[in-house]
Amino acid sequence: MKQNGILLNTRPVNGKTADELGDEHIGTSHDTPLREDAFELDEDLKVELIEKHFREIMQILGLDLSDDSLSGTPYRVAKMYVKEIFSGLDPKNKPDIKLFENKYQYNEMLIEKNITFYSNCEHHFVPIIGKAHVAYISSGKVIGLSKINRVVQYFAKRPQVQERLTVQIANELKELLQTEDIAIVIDAMHLCVSSRGVEDTSSSTVTTFYGGKFNNDETRKEFLSHIYGGR
């Protein structure tokens, strides 16, 4: 049942419970699932509403919100959700990327590796902590190195599944750089695996994207040797 576009219950979907769907790591599309009215509320009102509801969650859990340590937690969580860890949901926060001519005529791969990012699993709202390795071969245009990091951070700062995050970064860079020659490897730990459920603290998840010239075995091997060769 939905009210104003908001799901109000956790009944089974296609015969499966919410826990089963989450543990199966189901993903629905390359686009982050957003309602059409997602940005009708301004940020301050979103913070106010989330603060109210998170206060209720804490009260249901039996926490004493009159305690000095807890009294400000609902506001801090609400502000963190809207202005920090889920800020990538709002298109107004998309990084402004400017292209430059490849005046150096550098036609080999450029790699930005070990980009640290923090995201959140959309199934349990717990952190995903990882490294992204991104490469491209210029088609005549280049971007500032820090902009690659900003693209990764923008798409990471939303409820995510790692496969979607990988594709979203790849699609954005293909459009920005006007090239199919993009390669991405993401290696991340999911706290929904390590801190709950199976509680495996040693495993990580790796997802990849190879486009254009990176589908050539030698080019791909060169890329992988640069990001893993020193290990």
Residues marked active site are found at 121-124, 162, 190, 192
Residue 69: how many CA atoms within 13 Å on its side-chain side?
A: 2
Closest by Cα among 106, 101, 113 to 177: 101
Closest by Cα among 121, 122, 115, 112 to 189: 121
Q: What are 178's two structure tokens?
A: 């006007």
Phi, psi of 189 (to 5 degrees): -100, 135
What distance in Å separates the CA atoms of residue 24 and residue 120, rounded to the nearest whole number? 16
